[in-house]
Structure 1
Amino acid sequence: MTYKTILVSLNEIGRLSESVAAAQSLARETGAHVSGLYVVPAVQVYPSVGFEAAPQVFEGNRSFFKDNVQRVKQVFEEAMQREGLSHDFHQIDARTPVIAEEVVAAGRVADVVIVSATNPDEITGVERDFVEQVVMALGRPVIVLPFKGKAELSLNEIVIGWDGGREAARATFDALPLLKKAAKVRVVRIDPQKDPNLRGSVAGADLAEALSRHGVKAEAQGYPTEGQDEGQALMRCAEDCGAALIVMGAYGHSRLAEFIFGGATRFVLNRMGCPVLMSH
């Protein structure tokens, strides 16, 4: 099993170089084809307010992304051509103002999708809950890059956040092509001492053993929260061991039109310091 098709979302223009570099790195490791996706959203139409008879139309986002099409395409294609990587570029003229909808539709035929987190302190034109929509609706593994700082996608060491749940299992085996190439993989159970069923055993040892049958160099360990959020502890563990990729399940549910993430998932998305592969 390996990845054959990588889709990289290019709409987070402030992180364009990081997104393209991550796709390059992953393609080099896997030999996969890279599809660059750039969405030009439809105009935003707001209902009329008060005595206004006509709805209000906002074209700012559409104009911004239309103006940057050629730049984005050039950056992506030049980067892929420099390394002789198989690639194509797709510009989609969206039917709605929601960029995530087009990324989800296109991403369902890819093996893995790369997106950048949106900076909550900036207005970038990409919807604030873009990552949540993509991760929850896609049905494919998603590699989320930090919205600031380093976004290098290194496979030197990978940390798996493991709790034995469905989402964690899905993420782990969705990440198998990367785990097999990693120099070292840590299966990390946060606060295993709090689960009476794990006393006297090494938490995650069964998963590490299963992964070893795939040729993964895995070891299991517990890791204490020390009063921190579980997501914060997982990131601290990755930082302590120098891991450049975290693999974890995305825990959440939809409530009306809003996606609600669990505490650890939300914390990691908001404060990640390295790329995170998530599956739901």
Structure 2
Amino acid sequence: MGYRTILAVVDTAENTRHLDAFVAQLAQQFSSHVIGLHMETLAAVPLVAPMEIPDPATVQAVQDVAHKETEESQRVFAEGMTANGISSEWRSFASSVGYSAKSSLQSARCADLIVARQHASFALSDSRADIDNFLYESGRPVLLIPNILTAPKPIRRVLIAWNGSREATRATFDALPFLKAAESVEVFSVDMEDNDSQTAALAGSEIAATLARHGINVTVTSQEKIQGVAPHTAIENRLADTSIDLLVMGAYGHSRWWEMLFGGVTRTLLDSMTAMTLMSR
């Protein structure tokens, strides 16, 4: 079992330069075929007061800039994959709705894993404003590369943020190829409560037993609820205490998933994290 088809979100040439090395390492590890996906958003038509007439020259200038970015992104992606001997292909589409387009979703839904890079500014550029819908609707696990990681490294230690939810379960099983290849995996049980089947102290033991049957070297750590300590703070502290290469967690929130990733609880986590993060919904 592995990620035989990886879809790389190639939104800008700058991000592609950083993303290529990570994608190439994953492709070599799992013998993957890599699809570079770029969506060129059609320029909005500006209006000129007082008659509100579309300005064709401005529209063309904006579109020319976007197309130049597309060509540069393709060049950087192709060079990176060729240099590493990776089987790859380029898919570029133009649409007024960008990554929300049906064409991009079809590509994403046929991939084993989506890889995207976090922007250093945490701000969505015009070309990425609709990636939230793309990621939310894809139904596939997403591996986020934090902007502070400048070079790939082997994934030896994995931390699973476990709260027994559907999202956490989905993320855990989507991460199986990484878990099997890792030297150690820790199920970090956080924000759990006593129930009829088990106590909070034993939460995570059943999923750990399941993972052990896959031959995974897994341990369980339980974080009891502490008043005033939010779950993301507990995870953050655990990441700081240990040398974690990959965090596995469920993606929570509403349909604007990308907005959630860079806002609220998860943004707090990503602001200071040093590990790659696999998220599923």
TM-score by length of 1: 0.83
Greater share of helix residues, 1 or 2?
Answer: 2
More off after superposition, 160-169 vs 268-277: 268-277
Aligned equivalent of 1:33: 33
Aligned equivalent of 2:8: 8
Deviation string 1:50-75 (CA, Å, 9 cap, x unpaired) is 85433577566643331133432232
Aligned equivalent of 1:196: 194
Distance 2:258 2:22 in 1: 29
The one-letter amino acid of 1:174's match is: D
Superposition CA RMSD, Å: 3.0
Tell me the number of residue pairs that the alignment of Structure 1 and Structure 2 aligns.
274
Q: Which residues of 2 match residues 45-64 of structure 1 at below 5 A?
A: 45=45, 51-54=50-53, 62-64=63-65
1:253 is paired with a residue whose SS is coil
The one-letter amino acid of 1:90's match is: R
Distance 1:137 1:70 in 2: 27
Gaps of 5+ in 2: none
Distance 1:200 1:35 in 2: 42
Deviation string 1:246-275 (CA, Å, 9 cap, x unpaired) is 1111111238x9966795434335554322
Q: Which residues of 2 match residues 1-280 of structure 1 at below 5 A?
A: 1-45=1-45, 51-54=50-53, 62-92=63-93, 94-101=94-101, 103-120=104-121, 124-128=125-129, 130=131, 132-150=132-150, 152=152, 154-192=154-192, 195-197=193-195, 198-199=198-199, 201-223=201-223, 227-254=228-255, 263-269=264-270, 271-280=272-281
Q: Percent identity?
A: 30
The one-letter amino acid of 2:65's match is: F
Distance 2:185 2:223 in 1: 15
More off after superposition, 138-147 vs 112-121: 112-121
Gaps of 5+ in 1: none
TM-score by length of 2: 0.83
In the TM superposition, what is the alpha-carbon distance from 1:133 to its structure 2 partner?
2.3
In the TM superposition, what is the alpha-carbon distance from 1:153 to its structure 2 partner?
5.5
Distance 1:60 1:76 in 2: 25
Q: Indicate if the aligned counterparts of 1:61 and 1:125 stay in contact, CA closer than 8 A.
A: no
2:95 is paired with a residue whose SS is coil
Q: Indicate if the aligned counterparts of 2:144 and 2:278 stay in contact, CA closer than 8 A.
A: yes
Rate the CA distance shift 1:74–1:259 in 2: closer, same or farther, 3 A. Answer: closer
